Amino acid sequence: VTISHGNSRVTAALPTGESVEVLLFGATVLSWKDGAGDEKLWLSEDSKLDGSKGVRGGIPIVFPAFGPPDPNHAATSKLPQHGFARTARWEFLGKSTSEGSSSSVKLDFGLSSDNLDEATRALWPYKFGLLYSVTLERDSLDTTLVITNDGDEPFEIQTLLHTYFRVKDISSVHVTGLEDSPYSDKVDGMKAKTQASSPVTFSGEMDRVYTPAKGPRHPVVISDGGKPSFRIVRDNLDQVVVWNPWTDKAESMSDFMPKDGYKNMVCVEAGSVQGWQKLDKGDAFEGAQTISLS
């Protein structure tokens, strides 16, 4: 296993060629390649990689609040959309590897209230710790986030792993595992709806927050051109956001490039974003996703 740790990124590669690259801003996974060198994640060419904005692609981490600030949730109402974890500079805590025929590598990253600048801490003044582990195996990538309340005050959080999957053609993408599940439709005034007993397909802007009826361990599968490409299993993350900006929204995002890149991406985001998870002093919340290549 080869590891390189630069000033702003950590990369790791298995002897069989699979690799992962993580930006310290946001502990954002920027790239995940299979053994043939094929990229599995979508990354906008105009992404900001300096912490001035969340990365437009890869796997940004949403914490401690999902979406635009909620005026009815006073504690997070001053935060920017999707919180601050995706722009803060994380620490690389180290690696663990297993060598041999089934080699793997785990990279650990940390962020705590002590790492935040004062302005950010003022927006959400709680003492917390985040431990994020990115584990690369030959045919899978696992991302696990552990959130701890290190202070005396209780706090409430939402979190989400905002994965941008690379696909060949969005028009022939099918997402299964969400059949008969309730969702909130963000492109239709947050209306509560229920998915039909059929896969999710794409023919325009989509922004939906699903609570899959079969629970987090039932796989959500992304098929591309009739062939299953990604299988996502969640741990403790009850929601799945499905997002594609399509033409107009892609046009309106300054960091989205190329503009027709929406054809080659789909966001299927594992999270806990309906209501709030309350953490009392000393409590921990752990959420994870494992993405397997089919």
Could you give the string, one character per residue 203-232, with x where binding to ligand BG6 holds by CB under 6 A and - elsewhere? Answer: ----x-------------------------
CB proximity list for 158: less than 8 A, separation 6 or greater: 62, 63, 64, 65, 66, 271, 272, 273, 276, 277
The SS3 assignment for 166 reads strand
Helices (H), 107-212: 118-123
**By CB under 6 A, is residue 65 in contact with ligand BG6?**
no
Give buried/exposed letters for 115-150 (b at 16+ CB in 10 A, else e). ebeeebeebbebbbbbbbbbbbbbebbbbbbebbbe
State which of positions 86-145 bind ligand BG6 (CB under 6 A).
none
Q: Is the dihedral of CA 169, 209, 287, 63 positive or negative?
A: positive
**By CB under 6 A, is residue 238 in contact with ligand BG6?**
no
State which of positions 183-202 bind ligand BG6 (CB under 6 A).
186
CB closer to ligand BG6, 55 vs 131: 55
Residue 122 DSSP label: H
CB closer to ligand BG6, 19 vs 262: 262
Question: Which token pair is 60?
Answer: 């940004």
The SS3 assignment for 275 reads strand
CB closer to ligand BG6, 62 vs 75: 62
Question: Would you call 153 a catalytic residue per the annotation?
Answer: no
- Rounded least distance, CB 243 to ligand BG6, Å: 5
CB closer to ligand BG6, 20 vs 161: 161
Question: Would you call 162 a catalytic residue per the annotation?
Answer: yes
- The one catalytic residue in 18, 21, 82, 162 is 162
CB closer to ligand BG6, 81 vs 171: 81
**By CB under 6 A, is residue 269 in contact with ligand BG6?**
yes
Other beta carbons within 10 Å of 201 = 12
- Rounded least distance, CB 30 to ligand BG6, Å: 15
**By CB under 6 A, is residue 247 in contact with ligand BG6?**
no
Question: Which token pair is 62?
Answer: 């949403």
**By CB under 6 A, is residue 54 in contact with ligand BG6?**
yes
State which of positions 140-169 bind ligand BG6 (CB under 6 A).
162
- Rounded least distance, CB 257 to ligand BG6, Å: 14
- Rounded least distance, CB 43 to ligand BG6, Å: 13
- Rounded least distance, CB 267 to ligand BG6, Å: 6
Number of residues this chain uses to bind ligand BG6 (CB under 6 A):
9
- Rounded least distance, CB 82 to ligand BG6, Å: 5
Q: Which of 16, 81, 171, 254 binds ligand BG6 (CB under 6 A)?
A: 81
CB closer to ligand BG6, 207 vs 238: 207
C-alpha separations of 123 from 16, 61, 224 in Å? 45, 18, 41
CB proximity list for 34: less than 8 A, separation 6 or greater: 17, 18, 40, 139, 293
CB 235 within 8 A of CB 270: no
- To 5 degrees, how large is the angle CA 212–CA 216–CA 217? 125
Q: Which residues bind ligand BG6 (CB under 6 A)?
A: 54, 81-82, 162, 186, 207, 241, 243, 269
Tell me which residues are annotated as active site.
162, 269
